[in-house]
Amino acid sequence: MHITQLNQECLLHLFSFLDKNSRKNLAKTCHRLLEVFQDPLLWSLLNFHSPVELKKDNFLLGPALKYLSICWYSERVKVCNIEDWMKNSFQKDFCNRHENTVSDFLLDVCNRCPNLLSLTLSGCGHVTDDCIVLLLRSCPKLRTLKLENCVRITDRTLQAATLHGGSLQTLHVDFCRNITQAGIETVREKRPSVTLRAERSANMIPDSQPEKKLVLEKVSRKLVQL
């Protein structure tokens, strides 16, 4: 029996063991396998390891997507974590190349994947509160939201989780330095059923504009003099 003689269910099962590139390459061999590649049921889970992978044409976004992970552990993530006003020209140029990549991708997820159950973002330094708020509104079935080392995430995301995360069961905001203890306590108060974890987040130094830092320094000096 030739592989193309297998029914759709068997072919989907076989494809599920392949990575995204292998699925795409196999789909190029004949129309029958292309149909399997284009079946939304094949794409219930997607894992990405860098922003570059989001631009490849080797996957499909659709209503069958339930589990999404974008985890970037490269040393280059450190550049994205630097405050914008502290970046040199080289660092700014590097960030400009991919600054909106993850956000634009998540916007597509909001429009095409209303049944998303789990989202994990790690090292996505340019993702903002606006993006996560929109996703919480667009994906009402979301049960798990894990954010790690996403430096632009603030208490606005925590507030949105209490307002729009009706199905949310697990919320992680680890190493998100602009999360505050007050924001964490608000979630625990309003949504005690949510399993909340914020490793190191509220204990890290939050970002602030240089002029704000100067004011804080002056206040500190006055207090010392008193």
Q: What is the pTM of this model?
A: 0.84
Residue 213 clears pLDDT 70, i.e. is over it? no
Read off the CATH number of the domain in which 87 is found: 3.80.10
Same structural domain, 156 and 181: yes
- Token readout for 220 is 């500190």
pLDDT (0 to 100) of residue 96:
78
User: pLDDT-derived band of residue 2, with 50, 70 and 90 as boundaries?
Assistant: confident
Q: What is the mean pLDDT of residues 68-81?
A: 84
Instruction: Check whether residue 97 and residue 33 sit in a common domain.
Output: no
Same domain, 150 and 89: yes
Assess whether 70 and 144 both reside in one domain: yes
How high is the pLDDT of residue 209? 62
Tally of domains in the chain: 2
Residue 99 within a domain: yes
Burial 31-60 (b: 16+ CB within 10 A, else e): eebeebbebeebbbebebebbebbeeeebb
- Average pLDDT (85-105) is 82
Residue 105 lies in a domain: yes
Q: Are residues 51 and 18 in the same domain?
A: no
Cβ atoms 129, 150 nearer than 8 A:
no
Residue 115's pLDDT is what? 97
Whether residue 89 is found in the same domain as residue 144: yes
Domain of 95 in residue numbering reads as 43-197
Residue 205 confidence (pLDDT): 63
